[in-house]
Amino acid sequence: MEKEFNILKNINLCNEAIEFTGFLSKGQKTILKYILAFNDNGGVTADTIKNSSEISRQAANIHLKHLMDRGFVNREKNRVYTYYPKQRKIQELVESYQISKTLK
């Protein structure tokens, strides 16, 4: 049985894998890393992301939509929309990164 991947215990590896991928734009990488770092099981709101970076609300929403379309984050509505990382997709990204490192 495969051991469950823990994002917080592997945050540095996750960040390296996110930076390595050519699949995401710079803004998407920044937002995804923020969601991973500050996801305390309560999710992260778009306002929190906007206030912590120097991007507009519209840009944050566009990046979040692309991250949802690509399967990296989920969105739930609890009075406001909150965003959560998709554990399996992040794990796949890390595994792909590790494989590519061994091939070099």
Per-residue pLDDT of 53-92, as tens digits, reads 888 889 999 999 999 999 999 999 988 999 999 999 999 9
Percent of the chain with pLDDT over 90: 62
Choice between 83 and 42, residue whose per-residue pLDDT is larger: 83
- Whether the pLDDT of residue 2 is over 60: the answer is no
Torsion of CA 12, 32, 93, 89, to 10 degrees: 120
- pTM, entire model: 0.89
pLDDT the model gives residue 1: 38
pLDDT the model gives residue 57: 86
- Whether the pLDDT of residue 48 is over 70: the answer is yes
Q: From 85, 86, 67, 83, select the one nearest 75 (Cα to Cα).
A: 83
Q: From 5, 76, 65, select the one nearest 43 (Cα to Cα).
A: 76
| Segment 62-71 long-range contacts (CB within 8 Å, at least 24 positions apart) | 63/25, 63/27, 63/28, 63/31, 64/31, 66/25, 66/28, 67/24, 67/28, 67/31, 67/32, 70/23, 70/24
pLDDT the model gives residue 4: 74
Cα(5)–Cα(22) distance, integer angstroms: 22
Mean pLDDT, the chain, whole residue set: 89
Binning pLDDT at 50, 70 and 90, where does residue 3 land? low
